[in-house]
Amino acid sequence: MIDVAIIGAGTAGLTAAIYARRAGSSVTVFEGEAPGGQIINTPEIDNFPGLPGISGYEYANKLYEQAQALGAEFVFDKVKKVSGSFEEGFSILGEYGATCEAKTLIIASGVKRREMGLAGEQEFTGRGISYCATCDGAFFKGKTVAVFGGGNTAVEDAIYLTGICEKVYIIHRRNQFRADAALVDELLSHDNVETKLCFTVSGLRGEDKITAVELTNIDGSKEELTTDALFVAIGLIPENSVFQDIVELDEAGYVVAGEDCITSAEGVFAAGDCRTKDVRQLVTAAADGAVAAVAASKLSH
Ligand code: NDP
């Protein structure tokens, strides 16, 4: 039985792995996709203390290499079941059959991007609809694209796309962006950007790929916007249902835990975006990873 099992290899999970290894714990990290988490898709990180301008990919890679070098074990399998208790130990089972027995557990499962829930959304994904501007933006070089959302992700995506595409629309459901003012100012300084405020995307048009989107204004009026792509950045949702039998989740599905990362179950900690918190940032995810790992290591020794 290992000391600390960590579910998720994003910033919180990888930081937890580093701290738990340095505390002398045996550590296994489960990850269902590539290591690094959400930050991989950020072209440039400007708000992580001491590392201005580092790319999300480079940052995530360094973190992964650091955890590996310290001896954390990695299992690339999506966790499908977690059971047990602090008294008996926890059992983790992956979709491809990977298993692990652990004295303590750190849930660092992050969040996934929210979908629009529109007819044709799945079919058009990869055919004009994308959830990652840095991954797919280059396919639309010199073309017209639209970004849907008003948060930091949407505005950063739109800024990134201004350097690649001829025209960038940004569609947001309110008349004010949620994103940081500095990012909004930067976006609006580009002359190939046009805002579509007080609109939501209500329909998708095209045969085998997107050619236009239907927009609905808050006053109920509709219009069609011709575009070669729609980059969707309308927020994040947790994916914690696999943990619902062992820890308390809130109504939105986040693991209930405070700044000490302690959950409703002894021996289970929650770190990063997956837990209830006000500020979901890289630096707070890293902080959670350290807090959770120190606490889990103390309990498991
Ligand atoms: P956010 O939750 O910050 O923003 C989501 C945006 O999508 C909001 O503008 C919201 O509108 C809109 N929205 C939500 N649901 C819908 C819907 N059903 N239909 C239409 N619009 C919708 O998510 P982000 O992904 O932008 O950011 C997540 C977190 O990561 C935030 O804390 C953010 O600050 C952080 N982040 C930080 C970065 C940085 O600091 N450089 C970079 C990227 C992300 P409304 O405003 O009306 O609620």
pLDDT of residue 228: 98
pLDDT of residue 135: 82
Check if 202 has its Cβ closer than 6 Å to any atom of ligand 1.
no
pLDDT of residue 30: 98
Distance (Å, rounded) from C-alpha 273 to C-alpha 192? 33
The Å distance, Cα 175 to ligand 1 centre, comes to: 14
Cβ atoms within 10 Å, residue 263: 25
Say if residue 123's pLDDT is above 90.
yes
Check if 79 has its Cβ closer than 6 Å to any atom of ligand 1.
no
By percentage, how much of the chain surpasses pLDDT 70? 100
The Å distance, Cα 151 to ligand 1 centre, comes to: 4
pLDDT of residue 41: 80
Dihedral angle, C-alpha 20, 71, 112, 92, nearest 10 °? -80
Distance (Å, rounded) from C-alpha 245 to C-alpha 255? 11
Strand partners, 111: 238
Considering the chain, what is the average pLDDT of its residues? 96
Check if 43 has its Cβ closer than 6 Å to any atom of ligand 1.
no
Give the confidence band of 155 by pLDDT, cuts at 50, 70, 90.
very high
Mean pLDDT of all residues in 147-154: 96
Q: pLDDT, tens digit, for every residue of 91-109?
A: 999 999 999 999 999 999 9
Say if residue 247's pLDDT is above 90.
yes
Mean pLDDT of all residues in 113-121: 95
Check if 233 has its Cβ closer than 6 Å to any atom of ligand 1.
yes
225 token code pair: 């916007």
pTM of the model: 0.82
Check if 149 has its Cβ closer than 6 Å to any atom of ligand 1.
yes
The Å distance, Cα 166 to ligand 1 centre, comes to: 25
Give the confidence band of 159 by pLDDT, cuts at 50, 70, 90.
very high
Distance (Å, rounded) from C-alpha 267 to C-alpha 51? 33
Buried b (16+ CB within 10 A) or exposed e, 115-129: ebebeeeeebeeebb
Coil, strand, or helix at residue 98? coil
Q: Give the count of alpha carbons within 13 A of 273, CB side only.
A: 20
Of 135, 245, 250, 260, which is the active-site residue? 135
Tell me, yes or no, if 261 is annotated catalytic: no
Q: pLDDT, tens digit, for every residue of 191-239?
A: 999 999 999 999 999 999 999 999 999 999 999 999 999 999 999 999 8
Q: pLDDT, tens digit, for every residue of 49-88?
A: 999 999 999 999 999 999 999 999 999 999 999 999 999 9
Q: Are 145 and 269 in contact (CB under 8 A)?
A: no
Of 3, 77, 100, 136, which is the active-site residue? 136
pLDDT of residue 42: 81
Smallest CA separation from ligand 1 atom 5, residue:
235
94 token code pair: 């992956």
Check if 261 has its Cβ closer than 6 Å to any atom of ligand 1.
no
